[in-house]
Amino acid sequence: MNSMKGKPMNHKKFEQMILTPEALTSEEREELARHIATCESCRKLSLQWQKASRMLNKPLPMAAPAPGFSARFAHSIEKRKEAEQQKQVRRFITILLVSLLSAALIFAVTYYSTNSLETIIKDTANASAQMLFLWESLKAIISTVTGFLPTVLLIPFLLTAASAMLTLTLLWLVSIWKLTLQKETVL
Amino acid sequence: MEHELQQWLDEAMQGKEESFCRLVDHYQNGVYNLCYRMLGNRHEAEDAAQESFWRAYRNLHRYDPSRSFQTWLLSIASHYCIDQQRKRRMTLIAIDEPFEETFGSNSPTPEHVYSNNEQSSQMEELINTLKPTDRAALVLRYWHQMSEKEIADTLSLSVSAVKSRLFRARKELAEKMETRREEYELHERETYEPQKI
Ligand SMILES: [Zn+2]
């Protein structure tokens, strides 16, 4: 920059002119030529760019794919569609699972903060008994339905059942834990 | 041909897979070339071109028929390749040192690379060092003969952003060009005659 005889701004301008010569007027061309005669670094850049632009402007080979490109594409469509479907199913299951689990958690928390321990244990026992009864009929329903429903549709069904079981287990665990706490304080 | 292409496009937009495959057949070279110039490797270019057509197929309902279909395809391909390049650069930076140590001695010497001795292969090497978006702008300009406006549309940039990227790319390329002493002296003696671009 210092070699520019104290005119760094002009120097920048000439770089611009060297690298985008398509926009130059004839006066600008002359101005550039005069500058290049006196400025070594612009002269170097100009020479380098002339080389580079000669290479870029030569008819450049267009790369072509290996034969059968569109046939390969046609073949891949089915696979890609399948992969996309699976991805959607996975996303759906994840969302469902997360929402079921958070619903179960919210339920458990509100339930515990609003009820006494005796009611909780009684309710949990009742719910478990009902669940056992339901489980039997659930199995019957599943075995008849699996015949003609795709497995994908069974998944939400099974997930709901699983999260109900999970909630119950959770309730039992917390009840037992609370009971032991109570005993300790009594003792 | 124009008429046929339009018909395939209409049919493809109505969901006819076969017609879309015809379009793939017609536009494959342009899309593949862009991917190849962007990624510098046949295998990755094939994957990127296939993926670009798949993305186009999935998003055909978003295609605006007032735009050129070719430009739209090239736009999808360049965005995809720019992403790929960025990802690759990140992993390259992460494994830079062991890579140099293990493979440094086996990497081709400059003589070897240029003994394919097309100047274009030297250009390929140089283009490889550009930032992804600058590279895309340069490829679209010199391989696909696009105007700055078309490049701006394709890369979702403003025209002035394209100008400054092209400027930066040209400057980087120029600065990496080797100049031999005698050429330099010859040039010094010549009166400067600006070239046609
Ligand atoms: Zn200068």
Per-residue HEC secondary structure of chain B comes to CHHHHHHHHHHHHCCCHHHHHHHHHHHHHHHHHHHHHHHCCHHHHHHHHHHHHHHHHHCHHHCCCCCCHHHHHHHHHHHHHHHHHHHHHHHHHHCHHHHHHHHHHHCCCHHHHHCCCCHHHHHHHHHCCCCHHHHHHHHHHHCCCCCHHHHHHHHCCCHHHHHHHHHHHHHHHHHHCCCCHHHHHHHHHCCCCCCCC
Q: Rounded distance, CA A5 to CA B3, Å?
A: 62
Q: Which residue has the higher pLDDT, A11 or A36?
A: A36
Distance between Cα A46 and ligand 1 center (Å): 10
Q: Which residue has the higher pLDDT, A1 or A68?
A: A68
Reported for A129-133, long-range contacts at CB under 8 A and 24+ positions apart, including other chains, are A131/A164, A131/A165, A131/A168
What is the average per-residue pLDDT within B177-192? 59
Q: Rounded distance, CA A5 to CA A66, Å?
A: 56
**B66/B126 same-domain check:** no
Q: Does residue A11 belong to any structural domain of this protein?
A: yes
**B173/B77 same-domain check:** no
Which of A21, A51, A65 is opposite residue B46, by nearest beta carbon? A65
CA distance A63 to chain B (A): 5
**Crossing angle for the helix pair B132-142 and B148-155, to the nearest 10 degrees:** 140
- CATH number for the domain that contains residue B174: 1.10.10.10
Q: How many residues does chain B have?
A: 197
> Is the pLDDT reported for residue B90 higher than 90?
no
Instruction: Reduce the DSSP state of residue A58 to 3 states and report it.
Output: coil
Q: Does residue A70 belong to any structural domain of this protein?
A: no
Which is nearest to B30 in space by CA: B17, B45, B8, B15? B45
**B5/B41 same-domain check:** yes
Q: Where is the domain boundary, B90, B116, B148?
A: B90
**B67/B140 same-domain check:** no
Task: Supply the range of the domain harboring residue B34.
Answer: 1-90
Q: Are A64 and B32 in contact (CB under 8 A)?
A: yes
**B156/B81 same-domain check:** no
Q: Rounded distance, CA B155 to CA B132, Å?
A: 11
Domain count, chain B: 2
CA distance A92 to chain B (A): 20
Q: Does B120 touch chain A (CB under 8 A)?
A: yes
**A164-186 pLDDT tens trace:** 788 888 878 878 887 887 777 66
How many Cβ atoms from other residues are within 10 Å of residue A45's Cβ?
Answer: 22
Those residues whose C-beta lies under 8 Å from the C-beta of residue B133, and which sit 6 or more positions away, are B82, B155, B157, B165
**A60-72 pLDDT tens trace:** 788 999 999 999 9
pLDDT, chain A, mean: 83
Q: Where is the domain boundary, B52, B75, B90?
A: B90
> Is the pLDDT reported for residue B104 higher than 60?
no
Task: Supply the range of the domain harboring residue A48.
Answer: 3-57
**B36-78 pLDDT tens trace:** 999 999 999 999 999 999 999 999 999 999 999 999 999 999 9
Are A57 and B188 an interchain contact pair (Cβ–Cβ within 8 Å)? no
Q: Does residue A39 belong to any structural domain of this protein?
A: yes
Domain count, chain A: 1
Are B187 and A43 an interchain contact pair (Cβ–Cβ within 8 Å)? yes
Which is nearest to B165 in space by CA: B156, B30, B143? B156
User: pLDDT at position B108, please?
Assistant: 40
Q: Are A45 and B175 in contact (CB under 8 A)?
A: yes
Neighbouring C-alpha atoms within 13 Å toward the C-beta of A112: 17
- Residue A112 CA: distances (Å) to CA of A98, A106, A166, A175, B101: 21, 10, 16, 9, 62
User: pLDDT at position B61, please?
Assistant: 94
Q: Are B155 and B78 in contact (CB under 8 A)?
A: yes
**B59/B97 same-domain check:** no
**B6/B25 same-domain check:** yes
Instruction: Reduce the DSSP state of residue A186 to 3 states and report it.
Output: helix
Those residues whose C-beta lies under 8 Å from the C-beta of residue B54, and which sit 6 or more positions away, are A73, A76, A77, A80
> Is the pLDDT reported for residue A15 higher than 80?
yes
Q: Does B182 touch chain A (CB under 8 A)?
A: no
> Is the pLDDT reported for residue B191 higher than 60?
no
**A26-51 pLDDT tens trace:** 999 999 999 999 999 999 999 999 99
Q: Does residue A62 belong to any structural domain of this protein?
A: no
- Which pTM value belongs to this model? 0.71
Which of A47, A48, A69 is opposite residue B32, by nearest beta carbon? A69
Q: What are the b/e assignments for A86-106, b being 16+ CB within 10 Å? A: eeeeeeeeeeeeeebeeebee
**B65/B33 same-domain check:** yes
- CATH number for the domain that contains residue B78: 1.10.1740.10
Q: Does residue A72 belong to any structural domain of this protein?
A: no
* Lowest-pLDDT choice from A83-87, A176-180, B93-97, B103-107: B103-107
Q: Where is the domain boundary, B31, B58, B90?
A: B90
Are B54 and A76 an interchain contact pair (Cβ–Cβ within 8 Å)? yes
Per DSSP, which regions of chain A are E strands?
Answer: none
**B54/B147 same-domain check:** no
* Lowest-pLDDT choice from A22-26, B120-124, B137-141, B143-147: B120-124
Q: Mutating which of A30, A40, A62, A87 best tests the B interface, going by the most B Cβ atoms within 10 A?
A: A62
Q: Show which of residues 60-99 on chain A sit within 8 Å of chain B, judged by CB atoms.
A: 60-66, 69-70, 72-74, 76-77, 80, 84
Q: Rounded distance, CA B126 to CA B13, Å?
A: 40
> Is the pLDDT reported for residue B142 higher than 80?
yes
* Band of pLDDT at residue B183, cut at 50, 70 and 90: low
Q: What is the DSSP letter of A149?
A: S
